[in-house]
Chain A
Amino acid sequence: MSASTKALSVEGLHKSFDGLEVLKGIDLEMNEHEVVGLIGASGSGKSTLLRCVNLLEPVDRGRILIEGEEITAHGVDVNRIRQRVGIVFQAFNLFPHMSVLRNVTLGPVEALGMSKADAEARADELLGRFGLLDKRDDYPDRLSGGQQQRVAIVRALAMRPDIMLLDEVTSALDPELVAEVLNVIRELAEGGMTMVIATHEMGFARDIAKRICFLDEGVILEEGPPDRMFSAPSNERTRQFLQSIIDAGRM
């Protein structure tokens, strides 16, 4: 890998739904081990951007490269790409008919072709690391929201992804359960995981991200280190957005 190879490059990304342009030319580059915080109002395109990087949404125009490989090229095996890109959703989306253990081993066994024993060993190690080992045989409905979201993170990690995409993973949680999930993410960041985090938790974003990108109406309007972005944003709209967050008491 050459020194210039980026963990993730997004070049001129456009995406429309039924004629409505949601992404209007996104450019983003990330180095390995970097954590990028994606902020912006609802509907600014954060989720769509993450879903495009995971190829859950087909891209209209532009390119996405992971470790230098163009994943938006024709003929690319989407399943192989998705194995390298972990995504965690706002609503957890665990499989309700499977135990926690099976939720975590399904990907490694059925997509990566690992043996059941190896996959379970890997799952146990990860569940143990995040304090969920005693829940391995429970069904998701028996868990709290925070536990479910941690299992969802473990499920994505079990694939050993090159990059993790977190889509407002604490937005559906009761306030008292947010911290346990943020702690898991913090630990991942300290472990060097390359991550894109779309979030409304501004304090957390400021804390953990090396770089903040402000998404507004389908473009990255402003980006920079968290200190400058939160204290002295240069763009008027960024200022307005942050002010609305402060007014709402969310910062």
Chain B
Amino acid sequence: MSGPAPDVYRLRPEDPLPDGDRGSKILAPLRTEGARGVAIAVVSTIVVFGIIVVAVLNSSGWPLIKEAFFDGEIFAEAFPKIVEKFWRNVFIFVVAEVFVLIVAMIVAVLRSLRGPVFFPLRALAAAYTDLFRAIPTILVIFLLGFGAPALQIKGVPNSDVFWAIVALVLVYSAYVAEVYRAGIESVHPSQVASARALGLSRRKTLRFVVLPQAVRRVIPPLLNDFIGLQKDSALVVVLGYQEGLRTAQIIQSENFDFTPYVALALVYIVITIPQARFVDWLVERDRKRRQAAVGV
């Protein structure tokens, strides 16, 4: 090894030394190691995926698969139509999500109430979550989507979409209520004690101390359930409502080709990944704000 010692840690001599007074000597060699590691990862990835792609494209079945699932012309025709109708799914799941957030919170709070007076409410909330987590979503959609409009209740919409949203809200609120409840129970009792010691009422303790901490902690699992809900918005297809999946189905049957389904799958992937990154960012922002900076 030649040159002054710190140069060893730099990729090139002209690179500035890593800044920060703490840990630079520990981190710097790792950086070099990291750069080499990245290079190795890139090369090996290209090689492996290259082999897979070449193998797939040269396999005897590939032309058939390509025609059935990845037909460029059909994709170009189907994609805009699917996206147009997919907005109906977006409407369904966004409205459902707003209600799920509210209904699930009410159920979770009811289940967290202490004291014998609240037993009926607790029991009701528990029965609700047990019931709606047990019944398959598609069954609830059948029951409400076909059954409820037949009742012709005054003042209640008869539309497929309305009842589909009700069904999704009922099912997903049961899941999300449990997520909230886990969050509420994860807040340490000493937090409640110290709020109550200040003379805050139970209600205010819940509102200012317990729920804000609980909700922050459950954001990642909450997203999990919301992605499930977004995908299950496709179940509305069973009511004959023309949303994304129904549109893909129609184009598929016109062409005897499955490319429209692939196009719809792509739409779901495209909307889901940004949400996952958004939640990562939220969690990270909260962590950074709360926790100590390096060296503090």
B213 within 8 A of A: yes
A241 within 8 A of B: no
B270 within 8 A of A: no
- CB of B199 within 8 A of CB of A107, answer yes
B96 to chain A, nearest CB (A): 28
- CB of B290 within 8 A of CB of A91, answer no
- CB of A56 within 8 A of CB of B196, answer yes
Please name the residue on chain A nearest to B193 by beta carbon: A56
Chain B contact residue count (CB 8 A cutoff):
23
- CB of A79 within 8 A of CB of B193, answer no
- CB of B292 within 8 A of CB of A82, answer no
Chain A contact residue count (CB 8 A cutoff):
27
B212 within 8 A of A: yes
- Tell me whether A93 and B190 are in contact in the complex, defined as CB-CB below 8 angstroms, given that A56-B197, A83-B199, A155-B198 are known contacts: yes
**Residue from the set A79, A139, A155 with the largest chain B CB neighbour count within 10 Å:** A79
Q: Which residues does B use to contact A, with CB under 8 Å?
A: 190-191, 193-201, 204, 208-209, 212-213, 216, 289-293, 296
In the complex, A223→B200 CA distance in Å? 34
B209 to chain A, nearest CB (A): 6
In the complex, A111→B33 CA distance in Å? 56
Which residues of chain A have C-beta atoms less than 8 A from B196's C-beta?
A: 56, 82
Interface string of A109-129 (1 = CB under 8 A from B): 011100000000000000000
13 pairs, CB–CB < 8 Å, chain A vs chain B: A79-B201, A80-B199, A81-B199, A82-B197, A93-B194, A97-B213, A106-B208, A107-B198, A110-B204, A111-B198, A111-B201, A112-B199, A155-B198
In the complex, A53→B200 CA distance in Å? 16
- CB of A159 within 8 A of CB of B199, answer yes
A74 within 8 A of B: no
Partner of B191, one of A93, A112, A142, A155: A93
- CB of B198 within 8 A of CB of A106, answer yes
Q: Which residues does A use to contact B, with CB under 8 Å?
A: 54, 56, 79-83, 86-87, 89, 91, 93-97, 106-107, 110-112, 139, 141-142, 155-156, 159
- CB of A82 within 8 A of CB of B198, answer yes
In the complex, A80→B209 CA distance in Å? 19
Please name the residue on chain B nearest to A99 by beta carbon: B289
Which residues of chain A have C-beta atoms less than 8 A from B190's C-beta?
A: 89, 91, 93
Partner of B290, one of A56, A97, A107, A155: A97
Partner of B204, one of A56, A82, A87, A111: A111
Please name the residue on chain B nearest to A112 by beta carbon: B199
